[in-house]
Structure formats: structure tokens, C-alpha cells
Chains A and B, each alone.
Chain A
Amino acid sequence: MFDVWLSAVPIFFTVENLLVVVIGLLIGITIGAIPGLNVPMIVALLLPLTFYMNPVTGLCLLMGVYKGGTYGGSISAILLNTPGAPAAAVTGIDGYPLALQGRSGKALRASIYGSVAGEFVADIVLITLAAQIAQVALRFGPTEKFSLVLFALVTIGVVSSRHKLKGIGAGLLGIFFYTIGIEPVSAATRFTFGIFPLIGGVPFLPMLIGLFAVSEFFVHIETKSLAGRSDSVVPVSTRREDNYVSWAELRAGARTIIRSTGIGIGIGALPGSGSAISAFVSYGAAKNASKDPDTFGEGSLDGVFAAETANNAAVGGALIPLLTLGIPGDAITAILLGVFLVHGIVPGPELFTTSAHIIYPVFVGLIVANVLHYFIASLGLRLFTRVIQMSRALLFPAVIVLCLAGAYSVNSSIFDVYVMLFFGVLGYLMKKFDFPVAPLLMGYILGSLLEKSLVQALIIGRGSFLPFVTRPISLVFLLLTGFFVVWSVVGQKRRTNAGPR
């Protein structure tokens, strides 16, 4: 075991490999941070480049993009309230209020600490326990997945703090939008209203861009920004304590970071779930465990920690089934699988023996990438806080052009641009009437898993609902779901009884 590492370290440490990790992180963070541009597409564009690189270099480049991209989304989520990646939607719930209070520096730093910590632990777990975790992940059949998804759905109610009912409404609307298109059982079309492109369902990224970025644009139209006027996007405080995370705050957030790392790895390791769901569940868990749940949604540092730690830990988690079983869990790992194959490496049970000379140097690369991630992100922070100090009259038009281009380029379809505009208007109306938007996204993502796992579980169980309570893992999640509901209702009652503070 030890000598594998001994030979892996020199293989990784070449100028070329270090350089591609840095480049990958820079590309990932930048693309992730720009609303409208999406990371899976950049990874796909870089794929042909890696055909001609040696496998370690090629993989390190794309892993860097993957890591940087997952983190980068949080920058625009915090500064502009427009997550650059789906996983960052949760980060914005508390990150943007913090930025509005002038504390964007603090929020950005919290997201760096959370991301790097989550990533680091997840990578260590990936390297040491991947095979064991993969075996546990395999035990999650349709029955278990259904109960888990149900549990995740319940967190929607928890996440939408002040407006529980509106949040649940938004979640249900999201599930409805998912149902449009070809349904998975008999491949019949649903709710397409004769509009042919809808047969493929509501396209995800255009919906995301519309819901978060375009709607924000509409909100800002109302505030009449004029070119030449120097009103910046969010106020930036110059006080030191608003721009740094203090040691005490970090210590207070440590429990959240540890919990979120676990949730991130666990959910990330289940194929098909992904980092957005892990961020949601971890946020819900953090809020329920918090002594001060009312601050969530108003600019809680714990909220930022919970979301960012979990979604980056999920990156390491998602690599577990990819490497040990050859099963990709999301769009990016699907492309990574392609890179492995292009270099004649078959991810799966034999990977760690037949391709040890490649996979261990890549592991070294992952760890090095975490360290570099910290420094690059800290440097980038200065740049990004500069960007938002420019007039919104200039920044937002630029963002909207990128959004249009981004929505179009996913599937090169003008229909997708209309979808983006539709969701932009919808998102604007929701914001206007105090409906939280993030639950809609969550409903959309979870809807597909919910239906598929329910249908599969019922077919396998010959139409019986009994397996949901007789299978232990499933039962645990159902009980957790119940506990979550009761806890948040009772907790809220207790707080209201204690009177307004």
C-alpha cells in the first residue's frame, strides 16, 4: 500500500500536472462564477484536449475544473443572488442576505473554508474507504432511494423559513415542471400541450438561469440604475470583521461543517442524487440542529457553511461510485467516465489494481488541488469583490447577455432561450410575492428521482407498499422524515410561545 503512494507522488509532481490543476481550478471557478455558463459544458469542451494528454494530466485538469466549478457557483450566488451552478442555489439563501449587509467578504470566505474542508475530507474518505462506501451505496435500491427523496423533499419546508406554505407550494410547482415530457415508465408524453420541444422535458439549465439570474435582472430593473451612476451591486463594508471569518465563528460552525461533510459524501455517493440535493438536506439539517434557526435565511453563517461544505463534499462522494463501480452519478462524472475510457482505464472493481499507476497519482492530484483551491479562491475573492463594486447599470446587462448565450448554448436551441425567459418572469413574480425560488428547483430535481424510484420499487415489490417499512434503511429514512416534520413544527411552536424576541 505504502509503496504505491511512494511511486505515485513523483508521477504527479511534474510542472505540467501542477500547471493543469491550477488552470483547471481557474477555469472551473471562473465558469462556475459566471451565471449562464455551465461547468458540465466546459468539461465536455475540454474533453477532446485530454485525448492527447497523458491520462494523469488529463484527469487532473478535469478534476480541477469539477472542483473549481462546484465552488465557483457560490461566488455569484453570494454577490448577485444568481447561483452560477445548481448546487449553489442553497448557498445564496444566506449568502446574499449577508452580502446585502455589506458582509460579502465574510460570506465568501466562509464558502471557501466550507468548500475546502468538505472537499478535503471527502477526498480522504474517497481514497481510504471508497470500496466499503460503494457497497453501502449499492444497498440503496429503489425503495431506499424513495424514502431518502421523501426525506429530502421535507427539508423544502424547513428551508423556506418564513413562508413554509409558499415554499411547499413552490416545491410542488417544481415537481409539476418535472412531469412535463416523456415519462419514464411507458415513455408516454405528458403535459407537452402539443409543443414538440417539450417532449424532452423542461430543460434544466435554462430553467435554472431564468429562475435565478433573469428574475434577479427584472428585480433590478425596478430600481432604475443609470449608467454613470456609481451605485454598486451590493454594499461593501470596509470593516475588518465584516470581511473575515473569525476564529470563534469558525469554531461555532465546526459542527455544521462536520455534519455537512458527512451528508455531502453520503448523498454524493448515491448515483443520481448529486450535489444540489446534498446542499439542501445539509442546510435543512443545520437549521433543525441550530439553536438559532430563525437567523437562517437572514444571513446565517452556518447556512453558508452547511450548503457549501455539503456540495463540495458531494464531489468527492460522486467519485466513489464512478471509480469503484464505473457508475457515474451526474453530468460531470459521466464525462469523467469518458476521459477514463479514452485513456484505456476502465473504472470499476479492477481499477485500483490494474490502473494503480494512474489512479494514485490522480489521488495525489486531488489533495494538491484542495490546497491550491484554497489559495486560488482567496486570491479570486479580491477580484470578485472588485467586480461587484462597479455600477449595476453596467454589470447586469453584461450578465443578461451571458445568460442568453448560456441558455442557448446548452442544447443550441432558441426554444431554451424562451424557456429561460418564461422562468425569468415566473421567478420575478415569485420574488415579488415572497415565494422562495430555491424550493422550485429542488422540486424539479427531486421529482424525477421520486417518480422513478417509486415506480421501480412498486414494480419490484409487485405493487406492495410494505417494503417501504420492512426494509431497514428505508424505514430509518421514513422515521427521520417524520421526526423532521414534528421537530420543525414543535420547535416553531415553542419559539412562538416564548414570544417574539
Chain B
Amino acid sequence: MKRTMVLLLAVMVAPTVLAAGEAEPDPPEDYPTKSIELVVPWGAGGRTDINARMFATIASNYLDQPMVVVNRAGGGSVIGGQYVAEADPDGYTLLAITPGTNVFPVVFDRAPYDTFDFTPIGQIGSSTMAIASRPDRPWSDVSELVEYAEENPGEVTYACVSLSGPQLGFLRWSDAAGLEFSHVPVGDDAEAVEAALGGHVDIAMTSSVATITSHVNEGSLNAIMVFSDARDDALPDTPTATEMGWDVVASPFTGIAGPKGMPEEVTRKLREVFMQVMEDEDFHTLMNRVGESLDPRGGEEFYQIWVNDYEGYSGIIERMGLN
């Protein structure tokens, strides 16, 4: 019995020791010759994580090598971002990128990497940011909200993560509308919705309508406005900010990027596989089920989105003196 136990332990421990070995790099033409690490800079189970896992599952079929999702969470996606920015640009370390990683260098002057330290592979999709309130608030739509906020500056509270995509989007809007709100910092979208549902804050600002849709359908929340360029299918009655006359479009993207300076062959191969995954039927089914709308953009276009976001965010951060 005792011998069996020792043997069992040895077997359990062995893989961890064996895994320590590393192979030599291969020429970029043969890429990929070993498994690819897709870094998710957020915890397991979040939106980015699920999208990345679906992408990796399908992409592995096209790459003939497994793509493995690795969570490197922390510091609001900065830890994982830094890891990939500093990784060997050989295509074996990729990042499931979200605006948080890009915004960080804008906000912090001592950031260890720059917004453009990445090679864009492609955008998978973007979500629709939205604001919602409980029906018992003194407003039921955006014009009433604006009216109320004008009369009571600083009195209306909104909940979202500090210095995140949603907060910067909200600030761009309130700045454009000339309104003043009080920010209540929360940990994530779910907490913002919880606080609004309980009536503890006036407005929940979330990065995705997915978190509020069922509450809106049930009548426990009113969707006030969305920040996408067109109305969201899930909330067809909710106006966009542009419709209401404010030039604010902010849709947090999910995409794939690598470190800056990858060999041309590798980038081309990855962009090719990326587009194949975007057209894959299984991938569509999976994304549909989670309620993610696909909005595939190739590498160049994806880069342009970064540039636009960068300009939008640095403008508001400078004006508000946030950095």
C-alpha cells in the first residue's frame, strides 16, 4: 500500500518537473511548430476569457498546433499586457486584447509599455456600452436625465470601474453634454448593475449591454442610452449618443494582438488564420450562444481603431487632468 502511494505521488509530480524543458526556436517560415500561448489579461470566466477560449479552440484547428489560453490577470489587464509586450515577438505569445490594455499607458506616465507596442492581428467583436437606471428615478430617458442633471449638478451618481473604458466613455459624454456627475468606483460590470438594481447608485455604466438586457426586459432597469455607432439589436428602443447629438462613439473591442516586431511571415499567417476563424461556422455558433455579435476587422483596420481610441481617450484625460 505504502509503495503504491509513493508511486502515485511520483506520477503526480513528474509532469510538473518534465514540463520545465524548453525547445529551440524554429525558423518563422515553418510557423507554428509548437503550441501557441494566448494570454488573457483577465481572470478566468470573464467575457474576454470566454471569447478567447472559443477563439483558441477554433484557431487550433487551422494552425495544426494547439493554442492554449493562459490567464495572467492583475492590475486591470496591465500585467498580461506587459507580459506580451515584452515577450519574444516570435508569434508564440499572443494577447487577447481589450481597451484596458491600450488605455493604461495613456493614463499612467510610468507605464512599462506603450499603446502601440503590439502587432494587431484582428478584432473579433466589440460590445455596446450602455447606461441604465432604476425606473423609480426621476428620469426615464436621456433627455429627462440631462434636464435633471443640469438642475442638480454633481448629484446624480454613476457606477463603473475607475479609469476603465466605460468611465472614460462616460466622461467623454458628460464632458460633451456639459454635465456633472459623481463617480462611484466599483470592481466590475456586475457590481455596477447590482448597485443600480438595489437603488444605491442612480446609473450603472456597463461595458456590455449583455449585463443589463434581462433586467431591462423584466422592467427592473431602464436602458437610457448606448455608446455604439448604431442601435444595439438587444435594445432596439434605446438611442445612441450620436443620435442624441453628442459625437461620442466608444465600443470596447476584443481582439488578438502579438508583441511589436513579429516576423512578416508570422504576422501574415496569423492574420490569415484569424480571418478563417472569423468565417468558421462553429465559431459563429459559439459566439451566438454567448450573445456576442461578431464584428471582424483585419489587422490594418484594427490598428485604426486603436488610433481613434487613443486620441479620444488622451483628449478627455488631458482635459480632466486624470493622469
**Interface residues, chain A, CB within 8 Å of chain B?**
40-41, 43-44, 47-48, 51, 138-142, 181-182, 184-187, 196-197, 199-201, 203, 271-272, 321, 325-328, 331-332, 334-338, 341-344, 346-351, 386-387, 389-390, 394-395, 398, 401-402, 404-405, 410-413, 452, 455-456, 459-460
| Complex-state Cα separation, A413 to B199, whole angstroms | 40
Q: How many residues of B contact A (CB 8 A)?
A: 64
Other A-B pairs beyond A48-B53, A331-B43, 19, CB < 8 Å:
A47-B44, A48-B54, A186-B163, A272-B187, A325-B194, A325-B197, A327-B190, A334-B46, A337-B45, A341-B290, A342-B286, A344-B290, A349-B214, A349-B218, A398-B10, A398-B13, A456-B184, A460-B157, A460-B201
Choose among A184, A203, A332 the residue that contacts B162 (Cβ–Cβ < 8 A): A184
Q: List chain A residues, Cβ under 8 A from B214.
A: 326, 346-351
Q: List chain B residues, Cβ under 8 A from A455.
A: 185
| Complex-state Cα separation, A334 to B182, whole angstroms | 28
Contact between chains at A185 and B190 (CB < 8 Å)? no
Contact between chains at B17 and A390 (CB < 8 Å)? no
Contact between chains at A200 and B79 (CB < 8 Å)? yes
| Complex-state Cα separation, A346 to B107, whole angstroms | 34
Q: Is B235 among interface residues, defined by CB-CB distance under 8 A?
A: no
**With contacts A199-B78, A349-B214 known, is A334 near B73, CB below 8 A?**
no
**0/1 interface trace, chain B 42-80, chain A, CB 8 Å (1 if under):** 011110011001100100000000000011111110110
| Complex-state Cα separation, A196 to B220, whole angstroms | 42
Contact between chains at B215 and A200 (CB < 8 Å)? no
Contact between chains at B190 and A328 (CB < 8 Å)? yes
Q: List chain A residues, Cβ under 8 A from B49.
A: 44, 338
Contact between chains at A342 and B289 (CB < 8 Å)? yes
Q: How far is the CB of A467 from chain B (nearest CB, A)?
A: 11
Contact between chains at A138 and B197 (CB < 8 Å)? yes
Contact between chains at B13 and A271 (CB < 8 Å)? no
| Complex-state Cα separation, A21 to B76, whole angstroms | 35
Closest to B211 in A: A326
Contact between chains at A390 and B5 (CB < 8 Å)? yes
| Complex-state Cα separation, A328 to B70, whole angstroms | 22
Q: Is B291 among interface residues, defined by CB-CB distance under 8 A?
A: yes
| Complex-state Cα separation, A352 to B59, whole angstroms | 35
**Could you count the A-B residue pairs with CB atoms below 8 Å apart for me: how many are there?**
182
**Interface residues, chain B, CB within 8 Å of chain A?**
1-2, 5-6, 9-10, 12-13, 16-17, 43-46, 49-50, 53-54, 57, 70-76, 78-79, 82-83, 107, 112, 157, 162-163, 182-187, 190-191, 193-195, 197-201, 210-211, 213-215, 217-218, 220, 286, 288-291
| Complex-state Cα separation, A348 to B190, whole angstroms | 12
| Complex-state Cα separation, A203 to B12, whole angstroms | 25
Contact between chains at A335 and B79 (CB < 8 Å)? no
Q: Can you list 14 pairs linking A and B with CB atoms under 8 Å apart?
A: A43-B45, A44-B44, A185-B185, A186-B163, A271-B191, A334-B43, A334-B46, A337-B45, A338-B49, A341-B290, A348-B218, A350-B214, A390-B6, A459-B182
| Complex-state Cα separation, A335 to B44, whole angstroms | 7
| Complex-state Cα separation, A184 to B1, whole angstroms | 53
Q: How far is the CB of A117 from chain B (nearest CB, A)?
A: 28
Q: List chain B residues, Cβ under 8 A from A200.
A: 73-75, 78-79
Q: How far is the CB of B317 from chain A (nearest CB, A)?
A: 12
**With contacts A398-B12, A412-B70 known, is A272 near B191, CB below 8 A?**
yes
Contact between chains at A138 and B182 (CB < 8 Å)? no
| Complex-state Cα separation, A336 to B50, whole angstroms | 11
| Complex-state Cα separation, A460 to B159, whole angstroms | 10
Q: How far is the CB of B16 from chain A (nearest CB, A)?
A: 4
Q: List chain B residues, Cβ under 8 A from A139.
A: 198
Q: List chain B residues, Cβ under 8 A from A186.
A: 162-163
Contact between chains at A196 and B112 (CB < 8 Å)? yes
Q: List chain A residues, Cβ under 8 A from B186.
A: 452, 456
Q: List chain A residues, Cβ under 8 A from B53.
A: 47-48
Closest to B39 in A: A412
Choose among A43, A390, A401 the residue that contacts B13 (Cβ–Cβ < 8 A): A401
Q: How far is the CB of B195 from chain A (nearest CB, A)?
A: 7
